Amino acid sequence: MNLNQIQHKIVTTINGPILVVAGAGSGKTRVIIYRIIYMIKKMRINPENILALTFTKKAANEMKSRLFKIINNPLILKKITIGTFHSIFSIILRNEAHLLGYNSNYTIYDNKDSDYLIKKILKNLNIEKVLDYRKIRKQISNYKNNLFFLSKKNNKNTLFYKVYKIYVKKCHQMNSLDFDDILLHTNYLFYRFPNILLKYQNKFKYILVDEYQDTNISQNNIIKKLSNKYKNIFVVGDDAQSIYSFRGAKISNILNFHFIYKNTKIFRLEQNYRSTNSIVKASNKIISFNKNQIYKKVWTDNEKGEEIKIYNATSDEEEAIYIANYILMYTTKKKFKYKDFAILYRTNYQSNIIELILKEKKIPYNIYGSISIEHRKEIKDLFSYLKFINNINDEVSLLRILNSEIKYKKTIKSIINISKKKNIEIYNIINNIEKYDINININTVKKLKIICSFLKKIRFNLNKFNAYQIVKYVIIFLLKKKKYENKIKEKFKLILINIYKYVKKKLRFYNINTYLSDFLQYFYLEDDNNENDKANKVSIMTVHLSKGLEYPIVFITGLEENIFPSKSCIGNSQIEEERRLFYVALTRAKKIAILTYATSRFLWGNKITNIPSRFINEINKLISIKYKKNKYNNILGLKIHHKDFGSGIILNCNNDIATIKFNKLGIKRILLSLNKIIF
């Protein structure tokens, strides 16, 4: 199995609660995978009793494919339950939905759906100017993830609570769950129905959780309940890589694990096998700037390797060009492959310019997540049809359809008003539109008729046709009605191909038919929209998505204050999480890490300028000097004294102009040739 002594011990210690504190690159995913194999092959544990949980769809798919490579037996593999918290528990909820007053075909609302609903509620209460719908959504999410509903913490007189209650009620009426509901309702299910809990306790006798540092209260409580009978709970985590606190992740879960589970065995994985010594050294240096951390000594036997490189681009475009050229050079002259490279960024929108340049230079790439395709308007339209067809109570999706089909807002408003006044479902009204006294355009009536008869027809066949057939009909219907650009048609085609593959795979692999609701579940909670994983392509993604992955050469881009670290994290306690995020980014690299930053960059059509990220300065001494561009190339981070302005530190330097942060006067740009600076 090729494991070190501690790893071997971890793999073969099966019973009881176990906490593994694992540094970056110490082989923790490998340990999980070998442990699963050991349980099945050596311990003869029934694979059906194993539950492995991850946080991102990407990590789940990665684990599945790595396991498959070793086990290579689909019959065994399909018995193991592997997936994200959300996907696994939403499947369980579908099975038990009737107990909670839901139908098993419930719709999953993404953030945009939630926003839409919250906006509507605020408008109805006439407080859309008082409360910000996005803040409310975050607050609702926070509420649910912290299980406040179980405690007495809620302040029932606030405006927020009023909105919260309506939101919950509406979701229930529409047979819909948002992402947080999936966890919340699972909690409620296990709390309220002990016999159901027992059923799943007996099924999942062995539970493994990857990236445990990212669990929130709600998730942690589910694991606690599930493992309570057999206590075979195995968690792996690294507090230094905790980067999901915005989703309610609580580091205290990992810190208090051994208090909650008696007789916990604790292991530490500190040897890094992934990266060169230079990279390990720099990442240790970075994380040492954080005050809150569990002491860990990550070390490596690997060679020193190349020093970390840095590139100061003049613009975001030039940054991308530099990266593209670098990749071209290394693939032609140094025999690296495209798939050896990853380009990481802090925010999704940064991918635009990178994609553009890579396309120009004909470098094949694979983008993960992205401004995810489900948020594109036309795709959203398609999926509102699919969601409504699947769940006739889903008025959010129906209203989306109406909004995209009917130009005249007044007409929609009158329909909604009638629905409210007479307490009749909107779908019912549009089906009998001529019976109602509405000022409505004749063409609109015709349109509604066409839509309604289509919906009726297709809903009639809902259980006869598989997901592929249904989606195909909807796409044909949409294309018949509207003139879409070719780009959109291509996207539709891609989605269809994706569905086709999925339906086929399910049939061959598991011998089950895929209906529309199965496909929607897959689309929202399982598909990481990345079929070409193994293809020889450059990977580009956010730092968040890169966790758990590794690449020989990694570019960390946009290392500027206000970008990375993000503006909203500067000057508060969240800066430590940003630093952990940078730590995650840096530790993805096996051989070479290249940090890039741009002097100016486009944001909303405006050129903005930022000073280099503090993270560059924090590891300044470990960065290869020859890559520090220009003639004042070795003065970054240097403490200086200015004849007029006093002492300060050099943040950036472009040819003759240095950006200096003065102790008393703040940030100023100084012409070096004036010779006012004493180094």
Cα–Cα dist 425/432, whole Å: 11
Select from 257, 281, 276, 277 the least CA-distant residue to 267. 257
- Select from 194-202, 342-350, 385-393, 612-620 the region that touches DNA (CB under 7 A): 342-350
Q: Which residue in the set 271, 278, 444, 539 belongs to the binding site for DNA (CB under 7 A)?
A: 444
Pairing of strands 176-178, 666-671: unpaired
User: Taken in order 525, 529, 534, 539, is the CA torsion positive or negative?
Assistant: negative
Please give the structure tokens belonging to residue 213.
């540092």
Nearest distance in Å: CB 586, DNA = 17
φ/ψ of 337, rounded to 5, equals -105, 165
From residue 267 to residue 306, the character string flagging contacts with DNA as x (rule: CB under 7 A) and all else as - is ----------------------------------------
Examine the residue annotation and report whether 58 is marked as an active-site residue of this protein.
no
Examine the residue annotation and report whether 528 is marked as an active-site residue of this protein.
no
- Select from 56-64, 310-318, 484-492, 612-620 the region that touches DNA (CB under 7 A): 56-64
Please give the structure tokens belonging to residue 368.
């993960």
Which residues, 514 to 533, sit near DNA by CB under 7 A? 525, 528
Check residue 179 for interaction with DNA (CB under 7 A): yes
Q: How far is CA 143 from CA 113, 147, 177, 617, in A?
A: 18, 6, 15, 38
Q: Which residue in the set 45, 79, 110, 450 belongs to the binding site for DNA (CB under 7 A)?
A: 110
Nearest distance in Å: CB 672, DNA = 33
* Closer by beta carbon to DNA, 94 or else 661: 94
- Select from 29-37, 514-522, 598-606, 662-670 the region that touches DNA (CB under 7 A): 598-606
3-state secondary structure of 156: coil
Nearest distance in Å: CB 182, DNA = 8
* Closer by beta carbon to DNA, 145 or else 302: 145
- Select from 466-474, 482-490, 540-548, 657-665 the region that touches DNA (CB under 7 A): 540-548
Nearest distance in Å: CB 209, DNA = 14
Q: How far is CA 573 from CA 138, 139, 310, 569, in A?
A: 18, 19, 27, 7
φ/ψ of 659, rounded to 5, equals -95, 120
- Select from 146-154, 161-169, 326-334, 604-612 the region that touches DNA (CB under 7 A): 604-612
Check residue 124 for interaction with DNA (CB under 7 A): no
Any idea which residue has 């009749």 for tokens?
424
Check residue 439 for interaction with DNA (CB under 7 A): yes
Check residue 111 for interaction with DNA (CB under 7 A): yes
* Closer by beta carbon to DNA, 87 or else 272: 87
- The active-site residue, picked from 178, 181, 211, 316, is 211
- Select from 8-16, 417-425, 438-446, 510-518 the region that touches DNA (CB under 7 A): 438-446
- Residues 379/373, Cβ–Cβ less than 8 Å: yes
- Select from 161-169, 402-410, 450-458, 642-650 the region that touches DNA (CB under 7 A): 402-410
Examine the residue annotation and report whether 378 is marked as an active-site residue of this protein.
no
The DSSP letter of residue 623 is B
Nearest distance in Å: CB 15, DNA = 29
Examine the residue annotation and report whether 644 is marked as an active-site residue of this protein.
no
3-state secondary structure of 272: coil
Cα–Cα dist 669/679, whole Å: 16
Select from 576, 449, 563, 469 the least CA-distant residue to 514. 469
Which residues, 356 to 395, sit near DNA by CB under 7 A? 369, 377
The kind and range of the H/E element at 59 are: helix 57-71
- The active-site residue, picked from 84, 241, 444, 587, is 241
Cα–Cα dist 544/214, whole Å: 12
Check residue 143 for interaction with DNA (CB under 7 A): no
Q: Which residue in the set 84, 105, 278, 596 belongs to the binding site for DNA (CB under 7 A)?
A: 84
Check residue 510 for interaction with DNA (CB under 7 A): no
Dihedral of the CA atoms 98, 104, 105, 108 (nearest 10)? 90
Which residues, 194 to 253, sit near DNA by CB under 7 A? 243-244, 246-247
Check residue 417 for interaction with DNA (CB under 7 A): no
User: Taken in order 501, 506, 511, 515, is the CA torsion positive or negative?
Assistant: negative
Residue 72 buriedness (CB in 10 A; 0-12 / 13-18 / 19+)? exposed
Select from 230, 237, 229, 287 the least CA-distant residue to 257. 237
Q: Which residue in the set 392, 488, 538, 569 belongs to the binding site for DNA (CB under 7 A)?
A: 569
* Closer by beta carbon to DNA, 548 or else 648: 548
Q: Where are the beta strands (DSSP E) in 412-559?
A: 538-542, 551-556
Cα–Cα dist 557/310, whole Å: 10
Question: Residues with Cβ < 8 Å from 520, sequence gap 6 or more?
Answer: 107, 108, 383, 386, 387, 390
Any idea which residue has 């993000």 for tokens?
566
* Closer by beta carbon to DNA, 172 or else 380: 380
Examine the residue annotation and report whether 444 is marked as an active-site residue of this protein.
no
- Select from 193-201, 230-238, 343-351, 392-400 the region that touches DNA (CB under 7 A): 343-351
* Closer by beta carbon to DNA, 349 or else 509: 349
Nearest distance in Å: CB 590, DNA = 22
Q: Which residue in the set 297, 532, 604, 675 belongs to the binding site for DNA (CB under 7 A)?
A: 604
Q: Which residue in the set 603, 665, 667, 671 belongs to the binding site for DNA (CB under 7 A)?
A: 603
Cα–Cα dist 276/261, whole Å: 37
Tell me the β-bridge partners of 551.
Answer: 589
Examine the residue annotation and report whether 241 is marked as an active-site residue of this protein.
yes
Cα–Cα dist 85/185, whole Å: 13
Check residue 180 for interaction with DNA (CB under 7 A): yes
Check residue 582 for interaction with DNA (CB under 7 A): no
- Residues 262/15, Cβ–Cβ less than 8 Å: no
Cα–Cα dist 647/674, whole Å: 16
Residues annotated as part of the active site: 28-29, 210-211, 241, 588
- Chain contacts with DNA (rule: CB under 7 A): 55-58, 84-87, 110-111, 134, 179-180, 243-244, 246-247, 346-349, 369, 377, 403, 407-411, 439-441, 443-444, 525, 528, 542, 544-545, 566-569, 574, 603-606
